[in-house]
Structure 1
Amino acid sequence: MIDQAWKLLLFLKDFTGRGEDSFYWFDDGQLLETDAQDVVRFSGAVVCHDFWMIRDVLFDKTKTLPNTVIDLDEFRISTSGNPEDRLAREKHDVTAVLEQYGAEQEVCSAYKRMFNKGLPFEPGVASKAAEALAKMYLALLERAKLTGEAERFLTVEVPVYRLLQSAMAVGIMVDRQRLSEMRAEAEHDYFTCLKNYSAKHDMPLETPNRSALEEKLRADGFELDDVSIEYLLEYVPHQRDFGSDTIALQAADTARRVLGSLALSTTIMRPVLDVFGSRTSRIHLRSPSLQNMSKKYRGIIAGREGAELSYVDFDQYEVGIMAALSKDCELMKLYAAGDMYDLFATTHLGLSGNRKAAKQLFLSYAYGMSKKALIDAAVSLGVDRTRAKNAFGLFAQYETWKRSVWADFQANGRVATLLGNHYLRERDGPLTAKEQRSSVSQVVQGTASLIFKRALLDVGKLDDVTIVLPMHDALLFEHTSADTPNKVVTAFENAMTNTLGGGVRGKASVGAFAMG
């Protein structure tokens, strides 16, 4: 696949929606106008930028998409190893990098305006931009080969991109009656949650922004110099559950915003999709951001007539990956025995019935929280100090593995998962605590993303499955046979087992996608 045939595609979108979109192949130095049918018929790789803008146009005109699509922005970002590239993409388009590939600044500026309909189409400008885009593709391909990213990108990221873009182009069905009900309920729930949150934590009557959270966390004694706000809220125990309450408020705010963005007449959603939506390669949906809605409001999604919706998720996903990568015997035992967090809470921490706290404490440990802070946090939840110390001394091999990841990151200035997906270090010297956590997260979460994407590719081959919505590590799909969900579970489990070389046996199950 690395050396497959390819063509560069330029397009001008008709923002009026009248179907007057224009498509151009750039072939052998020539700009040749074509049409949607010819684009999807091409058997090689269609190389372009901003494919999301024409995805639905191509699908509506042809009822399919090209067999292989390589979006240059996705290619650049997913193989660079620089997490800032993902953030910068939200501020800049592809023309911001074309000067690196020979395009003059004037050409970049004119092409950007032309692409956004600020200037009439000018073949000379388009041809010069296309020359730079073609050079960009070849340079990215060469870099990917040299950095060990080509195989993953071309055999996993690209086919998953096509699979999921096709699913989003088909669209996600909406139950309009439920949408109306959920919109009203989400507004009510948000303001109730906000009122309680404000009173309980002495916060203003609004969803706190980053500066407000920083101020609150510092006032509560947290050090923010070497840790992210997100890490503190999700993984570190708080007095009076400030972290959990903040996450719940943010989720309620997200739900009302997502539901509020949908017209009550909406019958189908076609979200924008980022297959490489985070540093660790998680799949993100936006416009609307359906993945961030809690189960309470997911009932707005409906199945097509004659089909049933089912939802399959990995079980104990992170723990299983950590166990396999580290080969820690204690971790493997807990993973294989059942619900690891329940067992850890009851057997090792003495927190019977408090699975949530046990999960929070274990993941804080697993991603690098200091032993002292960890034990202090456990004690604050009622764990005996000696028992806490013993509990987090169980995983000697995992500790050795974690330190080996840190050493690799410091020595080589980069850390990678299986099949690449590397993360570059931005400074020299000893690793900070934040860098230690980020390196372990990259390996664990990046491996999780790889397994999930391989599972999606396997599920996509099943006859009775129509992919509806990928969640972070789970999948909502349509089917007609009662037997199909078990086949999807098997595909998930096998993808995990095989990717991890049999170090652990993958676990997945059918679960509830929505409440009620």
Structure 2
Amino acid sequence: MSTFIVALVDLEWYFIDVNNLGDFSSSFVFDKEDILVSFQTTDLIREISSREAVLPIIIDLESLEKQVAQEGKDLRNYSEWKVLKRLKYHKIIDPSFKITRENIKDFLQNIFNFYKFLIEKDSTETARFENIERKINAIIHKVQKAGISVNLEIAEKRCKELEKIIYVIKNELQLKHLIFAPDNIKAQIKYIKERNYPIIKSPFYTFRIRKRGDEVCRLFYELIRNQRDLDSLLFMLSQWGGKKHTHPTYLGFGTITSRIILREPSLQNLRKSNRDIIVPDKGMKLLYIDYAQFEAGILASLSKDAALINLYKSDIYIDIATKVLGDKNERSDAKIIFYRYMYGDRSLPKEAILYFQQFDKLQAYEAEVKNELLKEKIIGTENGNFRKLYEDETGWALSHKVQATASYIYKSALIRVADEVKSAEFLIPMHDGTVYQIPIKDNGTVALSIKNIYKEEFQKICPDIEPIFTVKDSFQ
């Protein structure tokens, strides 16, 4: 088994063997047991697919750096990941370095130095990478190569509908609210700051949590959601039109909490009304399984709060909806309140603050997590996935602890299903759930096997909770 650093420069692929840095070539030859390290994973998978070669293990440098850097958006000094910027940031290459045909070998050697630096930076993260992330890479890259079946006729129809919806929303923001560039991120942030709203996670998420009581926030939220769907559908039609498959870019460690994300198209973010564009392959049917109250259950277990654990059995979000919002049917908004609390949002209404204060052990656990972050300057799980402290801001500590734990449970379940339930084909990760396709003729044994694995992996970390699931034969 060999490990190669791989890069596409001027439309030509170049390889260098990490065990013999003098072995530099442009010949596309490797064994299925080999490891390819690249910052151009999507292009590499596409190239391998065109040659009908077996897919080897591929390590994505962007995901690897996000894992070991342990930096949230507050610490990152880049908006878009670029390999040259990262090499210069880590002082691996000179700030004036530019790629030319004459220095491609030096460029690949420096990428190797970057890879070596990342692998050796933190033993806990390296162990997690070997035990979890590399296996996840194998799962996600396999489906990225094979693609996901889509109904292009529905996609084309939805594009026309979405264009009309977006036009109406923009008109209202421009003519009624005098926001003349509503799709500009600066205009969105300007509105948030003018209202003295704290930005929670992102402008989009801030609009989401404010849409109930602010009409402009609701319009921004609808604009962004519909634009995201339109962008995804247009990408399918333009990039892969006629092939009836879409090949998203999968990023195994896509966020600081280790969530798997999909890009171009972002199928995870499709509204439920547009998810019917995802269809199974011939002879297969869709299976969607997800954890109910995933993070809420994890928080209840980690805090060992008996009252919260007991509420999970009925529904924590419905309890919040009833006691905070006064309407048990407002479960979706109650879920947002829960996430705002977990993320340390200090602008929660008084009723919500009082609600969470009733859980004594939860309050004690939150204080414990924040104190740990202040003392250690870093917070994570026993299985890695740490995040560094920034300017003594501890509000996000509880959220990171819970979401990093959720990611570990979820990824462990994905790996076991891939190993033990061969007839289930992984398609789309949804953080707390997964879209699989399984044989039409299955009589329920596959779904039961997957459910049992998800349950066992959850209870390995959260033994005080009997997890609840939703299982559907549709992504909608």
Tell me, yes or no, if structure 1 residue 28 matches structure 2 residue 2. Answer: no
Separation in 1, partners of 2:349, 2:205: 17
Question: Would the alpha carbon gap of residues 53 and 350 (structure 1) be closer, same or farther in structure 2, given more than 3 Å must change?
Answer: same
Separation in 2, partners of 1:512, 1:490: 17
The DSSP-based 3-state class of the residue aligned with 1:255 is helix
The DSSP-based 3-state class of the residue aligned with 1:504 is coil
Gaps of 5+ in 1: 114-118, 379-387
The DSSP-based 3-state class of the residue aligned with 1:83 is coil
Aligned to 2:145: 169
Which of 277, 282, 299 matches 2:259? Answer: 282
Farther off after superposition, 418-427 or 393-402: 418-427
Which of 440, 443, 461 matches 1:482? Answer: 443
The DSSP-based 3-state class of the residue aligned with 1:436 is coil
Aligned to 1:455: 413
Question: Would the alpha carbon gap of residues 354 and 9 (structure 1) be closer, same or farther in structure 2, given more than 3 Å must change?
Answer: closer
Q: For residues 206-225 of structure 1, what are the structure 2 equivalents within 5 Å? A: 207-220=182-195, 222-224=196-198
CA contact (8 A) 1:467 1:477 kept: yes
Question: Would the alpha carbon gap of residues 75 and 149 (structure 1) be closer, same or farther in structure 2, given more than 3 Å must change?
Answer: same
Residues 471-511 of structure 1, C-alpha deviations (whole Å, 9 max, x = no match)? 233211111113222322222222222233x1323332213
Separation in 1, partners of 2:428, 2:112: 33
Tell me, yes or no, if structure 1 residue 47 matches structure 2 residue 37. Answer: yes
The DSSP-based 3-state class of the residue aligned with 2:286 is strand
Question: Would the alpha carbon gap of residues 352 and 336 (structure 1) be closer, same or farther in structure 2, given more than 3 Å must change?
Answer: closer
Tell me, yes or no, if structure 1 residue 465 matches structure 2 residue 424. Answer: yes
Which of 493, 505, 509 matches 2:466? Answer: 505
The DSSP-based 3-state class of the residue aligned with 2:149 is strand
Q: Which AA in structure 1 matches 2:3?
A: K
Residues 242-267 of structure 1, C-alpha deviations (whole Å, 9 max, x = no match)? 54443232111111222223235352
Tell me, yes or no, if structure 1 residue 344 matches structure 2 residue 306. Answer: no
Q: For residues 174-323 of structure 1, what are the structure 2 equivalents within 5 Å? A: 174-195=150-171, 202-204=177-179, 207-220=182-195, 222-224=196-198, 229-230=203-204, 232-235=206-209, 238-240=212-214, 242-261=216-235, 262-263=237-238, 265-323=242-300
Question: Would the alpha carbon gap of residues 417 and 197 (structure 1) be closer, same or farther in structure 2, given more than 3 Å must change?
Answer: farther
Tell me, yes or no, if structure 1 residue 410 matches structure 2 residue 374. Answer: yes
Question: Would the alpha carbon gap of residues 335 and 196 (structure 1) be closer, same or farther in structure 2, given more than 3 Å must change?
Answer: farther
Question: Would the alpha carbon gap of residues 259 and 355 (structure 1) be closer, same or farther in structure 2, given more than 3 Å must change?
Answer: same
Farther off after superposition, 304-313 or 51-60: 51-60
Separation in 2, partners of 1:47, 1:227: 31
Tell me, yes or no, if structure 1 residue 139 matches structure 2 residue 117. Answer: yes
Aligned-pair CA distance for 1:347 = 5.7
The DSSP-based 3-state class of the residue aligned with 2:82 is coil
Which of 417, 421, 428 matches 2:385? Answer: 421
Task: Count residues with an aligned counterpart.
Answer: 468
CA contact (8 A) 1:235 1:363 kept: no
Separation in 2, partners of 1:244, 1:94: 39
Aligned to 1:374: 348
Q: Which AA in structure 2 matches 1:7?
A: T
The DSSP-based 3-state class of the residue aligned with 2:262 is strand
Percentage identity across aligned positions?
A: 22
CA contact (8 A) 2:7 2:13 kept: yes
The DSSP-based 3-state class of the residue aligned with 2:357 is coil
CA contact (8 A) 2:173 2:182 kept: no
Question: Would the alpha carbon gap of residues 256 and 105 (structure 1) be closer, same or farther in structure 2, given more than 3 Å must change?
Answer: closer
Separation in 1, partners of 2:45, 2:201: 39
Farther off after superposition, 90-99 or 457-466: 90-99
Separation in 2, partners of 1:12, 1:39: 16
Separation in 1, partners of 2:185, 2:106: 43
CA contact (8 A) 2:288 2:473 kept: yes
Separation in 1, partners of 2:312, 2:317: 9
Separation in 1, partners of 2:200, 2:152: 46
Please provide the CA RMSD for this pair: 3.0
Question: Would the alpha carbon gap of residues 494 and 244 (structure 1) be closer, same or farther in structure 2, given more than 3 Å must change?
Answer: farther
The DSSP-based 3-state class of the residue aligned with 1:9 is strand
Separation in 1, partners of 2:416, 2:403: 20
Which of 42, 60, 79 matches 2:68? Answer: 79
Separation in 2, partners of 1:181, 1:218: 37
Q: For residues 325-404 of structure 1, what are the structure 2 equivalents within 5 Å? A: 325-337=302-314, 339-346=315-322, 350-370=326-346, 373-376=347-350, 378=351, 391-404=355-368
Separation in 1, partners of 2:457, 2:76: 27
Aligned to 1:384: none
Aligned-pair CA distance for 1:21 = 4.7
TM-score, with structure 1 as normaliser? 0.81
The DSSP-based 3-state class of the residue aligned with 2:348 is helix
Gaps of 5+ in 2: none
Question: Would the alpha carbon gap of residues 22 and 401 (structure 1) be closer, same or farther in structure 2, given more than 3 Å must change?
Answer: same
Farther off after superposition, 268-277 or 234-243: 234-243
Aligned-pair CA distance for 1:320 = 0.7
Tell me, yes or no, if structure 1 residue 7 matches structure 2 residue 3. Answer: yes
Question: Would the alpha carbon gap of residues 23 and 411 (structure 1) be closer, same or farther in structure 2, given more than 3 Å must change?
Answer: closer
Q: Which AA in structure 2 matches 1:248?
A: E
Aligned-pair CA distance for 1:163 = 0.9
Aligned-pair CA distance for 1:195 = 4.8
Q: Which AA in structure 2 matches 1:57?
A: E
Separation in 2, partners of 1:269, 1:14: 26
TM-score, with structure 2 as normaliser? 0.87
Aligned-pair CA distance for 1:216 = 2.9
Q: Which AA in structure 1 matches 2:162?
A: A
